[in-house]
Structure 1
């Protein structure tokens, strides 16, 4: 709760800082607030907040996911000075809205009640509806905002209807009381219908196919730094909330929803990877890549054990670091070339080798190549899922095939950057120092976590 309050107050301060110097100091104020929040997240929770534990509890898992979300947000804010350079008149609003969205994500890490879940989802989502359309002169950005809002509202309807049915059958909004009801009444039709409706709503939020239709257009149309935030922080927040609801509240009826989850994962892995192969635009390819990773993450529901939350956190952190690494490169190219097609990246390694290497290592990590963090993340989730007695082996086989397909479209962009037939990337403008610093950090982090995976636990105080 302390971290939530710090980030929320930082968002308010960043918003009002826009009154002075057109938001000149909002970014620095936001980074300072995030650093303070990161420090506080390592401290024991203040006992004063125990009175709210029936609604929100900052337990070990909440603390872990909060830490990785703050780290990723810090990296994105370091990129903001260059990325938001054409938004000088309202930069403060952009940083404030991102922090408000992060506040919603933190609620999703520690909610104890379905009402708190709903509040977290909406606080996370509403600022992003605005941010998706923040590039007012771009019709694609306007389209992204409208589409995200309409589809988000549609998913919210499913979520509320599901919560209503759950309350109507169990008589409670509390996760653990619902958990007890699910064990004692595993065949309650109203309860099962509510669980399925909530599954569908949360599948929308994490972009599981066929509820992913909004993702490619919204990700492509939104400003690239906002897209990076959606692909990382929103994915972390929404997936942990999804995991928490299904494995706690609906643990007693796992047999009723696990097969539905399996079907969604299979559709997601085949559809997203096939569509990723068909793209000629790097940003849209990364959008389908993000959808495919929702499929890999979905395997966490199979073969649940005491390390499941840790495995989920490791994968999400590795994926989010890689997302920042690729999107950072894309932001730079998009600013110079005014496009994000594969051809725009041709010969990037000759002009900016550090950026190109960071993007390449990030995509190799996304593909699950050994010695990268992505490989260890996939290995841990696949090793868990294969223990599931009924269809674990089959699900892992599908995921491995999906990973093999994904290598093709990641390598395509890497080849364009490093081995072009003719380099078209000639510019006198140099990458900002902050971008090179973030690039080096991401390269080291992805390789270090891939070679020494225990570093993740040590660095986050586990």
Structure 2
């Protein structure tokens, strides 16, 4: 909870820097606060906060996911100087809203109670509704904000209805008491109906089909840095919250939701990968790619073992690194070209080779090509799921094979069109280059030596 307080106070400081016309310093305030929070996340939790353990506990798993979320947010803040240069009048609000959303994510990492789950989801979601519409003069951004808000409210209604049914059947909001009731009364109709409604709500939050329909439009219409935040930090938060809910609260009725999630995963992998092939816009293609990764991550629910939480964290961090890498390339192209079609990327390797390389390696990692972190992450999930859902693994392998095609389209546009369409004197900043090198090294090193992840983050 110390980490949560630090990030909250950092968000408040970033917000008030805009009040005093010092919004340009909001990013530096945010970076300083995130570094402080990252340091504190490695320290034992203060005993003072033990009184809140029935609602929120910052245990080893919560600390692990908090660390990777903070590191991902830090990378995005370093990108913000360039990505938010068109939002100088309200930079402080955007950075503050990102930090407030991160607070919601941290609540989701340690929730012990369905009330805390609901609070965490809303703290995470409400800033996103605002940030999606940050480009006030862009109709796509306005549409993204409104669509995300309306469908988000609909999903929240399902979540609350599900929580109500769970409480009506078990008489408790506590995850462990729900677990005990589910083990003793696995056929309770009200419990099953509540669980199904909560699965639908959580499937919306992580963009599992057919609850994914908001994602392509929202990801495309939002400012690109906010899209990167949604695709990385929000997905980390949503999936671990989903994982805790199903493997603690509802593990006693595993047979009831085993097939439900399996159907959602198959639909997700089929729709996302086939629609990804049909896209002519790189940002929208990456949106469908993000939906497909929700399907891959869903395999974590099968063949559960003592390493499942670690495998989930590794995969999500590898995906977050790749997301930041490819989105920094997209942000640069979008800033110069005012568009994100595949043709806009032609010849990028001849004008900015480092950006093209980080984008290519990031997409190869997303596709699960060997010697990348994404390959190790997928291998771990697929190997685990082989013990409980072989058919789903085969579908996921087929989906991964299809995804290579639409990633290659963007790579070919960057590297195999000799004519460079980037006729500009503007060059990538030193911060951008350093960040690109860091992501390239991190993806490859974690792909070759995956134990480094445990050495840096796990306890």
Report if TM-score (shorter chain) is over 0.5.
Answer: yes
Between the aligned partners of 2:317 and 2:379, the Cα distance in structure 1 is 14
How much does 1:346 deviate? 0.3
Say whether 1:45 aligns with 2:45. yes
Say whether 1:318 aligns with 2:318. yes
Two-structure CA RMSD over aligned residues (Å): 0.7
Residue 259 of structure 1 corresponds to which residue in structure 2? 259
Residue 61 of structure 1 corresponds to which residue in structure 2? 61
Match among 395, 399, 403 for residue 400 of structure 2? 403
Deviates more, 1:368-377 or 1:86-95: 86-95
Between the aligned partners of 1:113 and 1:449, the Cα distance in structure 2 is 34
Residue 11 of structure 2 corresponds to which residue in structure 1? 11
Say whether 1:457 aligns with 2:454. yes
Residue 116 of structure 1 corresponds to which residue in structure 2? 116
Residue 157 of structure 1 corresponds to which residue in structure 2? 157
Say whether 1:379 aligns with 2:379. yes
Between the aligned partners of 1:140 and 1:394, the Cα distance in structure 2 is 39
Between the aligned partners of 1:46 and 1:461, the Cα distance in structure 2 is 19
- Residues 182-241 of structure 1: CA distance to partner in whole angstroms, max 9, x if unpaired? 000000000000000000000000000000000000000000000000000000000000
Between the aligned partners of 1:221 and 1:88, the Cα distance in structure 2 is 19
TM-score, normalized by length of structure 2? 0.99
The ranges of structure 1 where at least 4 consecutive aligned residues each deviate by more than 4 angstroms after the TM superposition are none
- Residues 337-387 of structure 1: CA distance to partner in whole angstroms, max 9, x if unpaired? 000000110010111111110000000000000000000000000000001
Between the aligned partners of 1:238 and 1:19, the Cα distance in structure 2 is 32
Between the aligned partners of 2:347 and 2:340, the Cα distance in structure 1 is 14
Between the aligned partners of 1:71 and 1:22, the Cα distance in structure 2 is 25
* Contact 1:42 1:461 (C-alpha < 8 Å) held by counterparts: no
Residue 198 of structure 2 corresponds to which residue in structure 1? 198
Between the aligned partners of 1:286 and 1:185, the Cα distance in structure 2 is 43
Residue 137 of structure 1 corresponds to which residue in structure 2? 137
Between the aligned partners of 2:195 and 2:180, the Cα distance in structure 1 is 14
Between the aligned partners of 1:272 and 1:88, the Cα distance in structure 2 is 35
Aligned with 1:443: secondary structure?
A: helix
- Residues 129-157 of structure 1: CA distance to partner in whole angstroms, max 9, x if unpaired? 00000100100000000000001000000
Residue 369 of structure 1 corresponds to which residue in structure 2? 369
How much does 1:426 deviate? 2.5
- Residues 274-308 of structure 1: CA distance to partner in whole angstroms, max 9, x if unpaired? 00000000000000000000000000000000000
Aligned with 1:18: secondary structure?
A: helix
TM-score, normalized by length of structure 1? 0.99
* Contact 2:158 2:201 (C-alpha < 8 Å) held by counterparts: yes
* Contact 1:7 1:37 (C-alpha < 8 Å) held by counterparts: yes
Between the aligned partners of 1:396 and 1:108, the Cα distance in structure 2 is 28
How much does 1:264 deviate? 0.4
Residue 425 of structure 2 corresponds to which residue in structure 1? 428
Say whether 1:246 aligns with 2:226. no
Which runs of 5 or more residues in structure 2 are unaligned? Answer: none
Aligned with 2:54: secondary structure?
A: coil
Between the aligned partners of 1:161 and 1:211, the Cα distance in structure 2 is 17
Residue 81 of structure 1 corresponds to which residue in structure 2? 81
* Contact 2:350 2:418 (C-alpha < 8 Å) held by counterparts: no
Between the aligned partners of 1:415 and 1:381, the Cα distance in structure 2 is 29
Between the aligned partners of 2:46 and 2:212, the Cα distance in structure 1 is 39
Between the aligned partners of 2:285 and 2:431, the Cα distance in structure 1 is 26
How much does 1:393 deviate? 1.0
Say whether 1:446 aligns with 2:443. yes
Deviates more, 1:294-303 or 1:428-437: 428-437
* Contact 2:351 2:420 (C-alpha < 8 Å) held by counterparts: no
Residue 104 of structure 2 corresponds to which residue in structure 1? 104
Between the aligned partners of 1:424 and 1:332, the Cα distance in structure 2 is 13
Between the aligned partners of 2:232 and 2:104, the Cα distance in structure 1 is 14
Residue 305 of structure 2 corresponds to which residue in structure 1? 305
Between the aligned partners of 2:214 and 2:458, the Cα distance in structure 1 is 37
Aligned with 1:21: secondary structure?
A: coil
* Contact 1:22 1:91 (C-alpha < 8 Å) held by counterparts: no
Between the aligned partners of 2:57 and 2:231, the Cα distance in structure 1 is 26
Between the aligned partners of 1:421 and 1:429, the Cα distance in structure 2 is 20
* Contact 1:322 1:363 (C-alpha < 8 Å) held by counterparts: yes
Between the aligned partners of 1:156 and 1:162, the Cα distance in structure 2 is 10
Aligned with 2:19: secondary structure?
A: coil
* Contact 2:325 2:439 (C-alpha < 8 Å) held by counterparts: yes
How much does 1:425 deviate? 2.3
* Contact 2:311 2:380 (C-alpha < 8 Å) held by counterparts: yes
Aligned with 1:237: secondary structure?
A: helix
Between the aligned partners of 1:21 and 1:15, the Cα distance in structure 2 is 10
